[in-house]
Amino acid sequence: MKNGVAVAKVSDIPPGKSIGVTCHEEEIAVFNLDGIFYACTNRCPHAGAPLENSMIAGTVISCPWHGWRFDLAAGPEAPKDGVIRFPVTVSGEDILVGLPD
């Protein structure tokens, strides 16, 4: 696991918004849910929709194509639903994501 790879600035993602980034060959969706940042794979396991465009309700995102739902707060030990959650920390303005080696 690569700890603390900077993927965006805090100011890049207002509360309730998300972005997609590519970092170390990983496509990642990064969310700001009421000031807490979450990151996961940016590909829905159903048919590949970009999860960065999901609807957000609390910590649950709904895929933009067919509505499959994923709880980002489930954490890296999440249910086996095909979406990998990555650990996120914030250092100053930087959003840091722990990525697989």
Closer to ligand FES by Cβ: residue 15 or 48: 48
Q: How far is the CB of 93 from ligand FES (least distance, A)?
A: 32
When the beta carbons of 55 and 90 are compared against ligand FES, the nearer one is 55
Rule CB under 6 A: say whether 69 interacts with ligand FES.
Answer: no
Q: Is residue 63 within the footprint of ligand FES (CB under 6 A)?
A: yes
Determine if 66 is a binding residue for ligand FES (CB under 6 A): yes
b/e per residue 83-97 (b: at least 16 CB within 10 A) = bbbbebeeeeeebbb
The DSSP output letter for 10 is G
Burial class (CB in 10 A: 0-12, 13-18, 19+), 44: buried
The count of residues interacting with ligand FES (CB under 6 A) is 10
